[in-house]
Every structure is written in C-alpha cells, then in structure tokens.
A and B are shown apart, each in its own frame.
Chain A
Amino acid sequence: DAGVIQSPRHEVTEMGQEVTLRCKPISGHDYLFWYRQTMMRGLELLIYFNNNVPIDDSGMPEDRFSAKMPNASFSTLKIQPSEPRDSAVYFCASSLGGGVLTDTQYFGPGTRLTVL
C-alpha cells in the first residue's frame, strides 16, 4: 500500500483565500484523523471520522475550518477564509477498525500551509 496520501505537499496562499487540503487514507482503514502542527502548540487533533462519519470535531479552531469525508477513500479539510495564523503543517492519519484506543495511526507526509 502507498500509505496515507496528502495533497498538495505545499500551499502558499494569501489571506482571505479558500484553501482545500486533501487526504486519501490507507485502503481498509475505518478511522481518519486531521492534525495540525505548529511550533507554538505542537501536534493537535482537529477532527476524526469513523466510517466516513465525523465523531469529534471539538479540535476545529473556528467555523472557518470544515472537514468532509464523502467516501472511504477521500477526505478534505477546508479553510475559508484563510488567515496568517492558520500557517502550519496539516497531517492526515488513518487507522484500522480496531478503534481509536487500540490501533496505531499511520500518518501522511503532511501539507505545509503558508498564508501570507
């Protein structure tokens, strides 16, 4: 398997623009996670899905952030409008159906977002 795939790898945009990050989880994995990593706050969970259904979005910082998982092989994280403080590396991860508590999460390479 190719692992978790994220696109784009780098994104540079101007404040106010819409940004869409994409993720393809490992085939057969039932859980999908979106994380954000910054120097100040480290790695933080934004939202996670189980079988395409959002389970916990309490980590989503503001209404400007939204995430969808229309099918088992694709998810998007959208920021609209983007702000400079959204600049970070965004990771997608997936895990098998054993559950959040027991299974290893496999991370994608991340998308480095810069908002000017």
Chain B
Amino acid sequence: KQEVTQIPAALSVPEGENLVLNCSFTDSAIYNLQWFRQDPGKGLTSLLLIQSSQREQTSGRLNASLDKSSGRSTLYIAASQPGDSATYLCAVIGYTDKLIFGTGTRLQVFP
C-alpha cells in the first residue's frame, strides 16, 4: 500500500528565505507526482506535475525534483513571500490510478 509522508509538518520562516519541503513515498512504481497548495477554507491548486520519466519541473520561484528510485521529491521555494503561506501537499499516482496524498506541510512566511 502506497504511503506518502511529508516533512516537516509545519514550518515558519521569515520573508526572503529559500525553502525546501520534502515528500517521500513507499512504492516507487508511480506514474507522476504532483505538488498542490491549499489555502485555508479553499480547494487545492496544482503547482507542479512531474511525470515519472522527468527529474524536475520549474514554475517561477518553484522547483520540484523527483527521485523515483529513492521514493523522494522536494519542492524548493526561492525567496519566500508572505503570500506563499499555505499548506503544501504532494500526491502520487501509481498503478491504482488514484492520487495518494501526503500529510502536508503547513508553511507560514512572516514579514
């Protein structure tokens, strides 16, 4: 059974810092991995999708990497801003065709 874990569970940093959020999964047989952002009281917003054949994806200040063999992904946020404050979720799809979500990292960026 696929299990997805995210570390740390919570993170509080001053504005301007570069951040790394970690995601690990137990079954390396995945088709893709996605990073989402969830704001309080709102739905999820897809940030980046990495196919299993890819090593990384970039969007603006965000960079996500994937090491399928070791079951790990990282989300790098450059020059963090207060607007980045949210919960970040990673999710994988494997042979079950279902998105399996991680436990989330709650990020707070203070001015």
In the complex where A107-B45, A108-B43 touch, is A43 in contact with B89 (Cβ < 8 A)? yes
- Chain A contact-residue range equals 20 to 34
* B-chain residues with CB within 8 Å of residue A101 when the two chains form the complex: 31-32, 93, 97
Determine whether the beta carbon of A45 is less than 8 Å from that of B31. no
* A-chain residues with CB within 8 Å of residue B93 when the two chains form the complex: 100-101
- Chain B contact-residue range equals 20 to 34
In the complex where A42-B103, A42-B104, A43-B89 touch, is A104 in contact with B98 (Cβ < 8 A)? no
Determine whether the beta carbon of B104 is less than 8 Å from that of A107. no
* A-chain residues with CB within 8 Å of residue B91 when the two chains form the complex: 43
Per-residue CB proximity of A95-116 to B under 8 Å, as 1/0? 0000011101111111000000
Mark out the residues of chain A between 62 and 116 whose CB falls within 8 Å of any chain B CB in the assembled complex: 91, 93, 100-102, 104-110
Chain A to chain B: the 4 pairs with minimum beta-carbon distance, closest first: A107-B43, A43-B101, A107-B44, A101-B31
29 contacts between A and B (CB under 8 A): A33-B99, A42-B101, A42-B102, A42-B103, A42-B104, A43-B89, A44-B101, A45-B98, A45-B99, A55-B97, A56-B98, A59-B98, A91-B43, A91-B44, A93-B43, A93-B44, A100-B93, A102-B32, A104-B34, A104-B46, A105-B46, A106-B46, A107-B36, A107-B43, A107-B44, A107-B45, A109-B41, A110-B41, A110-B42
